[in-house]
Amino acid sequence: MTSIRNLVCALCLVSFANAAVAQTGDAVEGADLAAINKMGGAVGAYVADYLSGYGDTFEPQLLVQLAAVAQQKAIAHTCDGFEVDESRYNDAMSSMLNPIIAMIEVPEDGGAAINLPFTIAMSAYSMVLGGYIAAGASDPDAMCALGNQLRDSVTEDVLIWTAAD
């Protein structure tokens, strides 16, 4: 069963879905949403449902941050003028995933350590990244316009793009 907490995560994960209210303030029917918004909403809902099976293992803020990084990576993949700074990317991913990596318990017998929460988090990241890449392929102009909006609003801790010229 999907919890309220995970539904909130789904809404936070997919900024494309924020177009669900028209400028007049009236609700927009799902059929009236652009394909890019429908795709984003579907991926976000799926990832939230996937993660809901793991209880409270993941903090909502982690999911929002992973989605922000995935979104920037997809924009850089789709749009000219957005380049990933690998050092910033590595720093952002490390700071988000280190608490999960710290959960690894090395077996007493010296066998391989398995960190299932890390694998689950990276699966969620990959799903969101794939969704954003597909959404960008569906409507590259909308994806690039979103990138221009995000350039000034992404927080420094998850900013992975090179500095704008």
Reported pTM:
0.78
Is 164 part of a structural domain of the chain? no
| Residues paired with 161 in a beta bridge | 84
Share of the chain above pLDDT 70, in %: 80
* Residue 160, in any domain of the structure: no
How do residues 42-51 score in pLDDT, each as one tens digit?
888 898 888 8
Decide if 19 is inside a domain.
yes
Structural domain of residue 20, as residue ranges? 4-150
The answer to whether position 62 is within a domain reads yes
Tally of structural domains, the chain: 1
In a domain, 165, yes or no: no
**Are the CB atoms for 151 and 164 separated by under 8 Å?**
yes
Q: How far apart are CA 114 and CA 89, in angstroms?
A: 24
Reported as a pLDDT band with limits 50, 70 and 90, residue 118 is: very high
Domain assignment of residue 101, yes or no: yes
Whether the CB-CB separation of 83 and 165 falls below 8 Å is answered with: no
Asked if residue 50 is part of any domain, the answer here is yes
Q: Which two tokens stand for residue 85?
A: 């700074």
List, for residues 130-141, the tens digit of each pLDDT value: 999 999 999 999
Q: Is residue 45 part of a domain?
A: yes
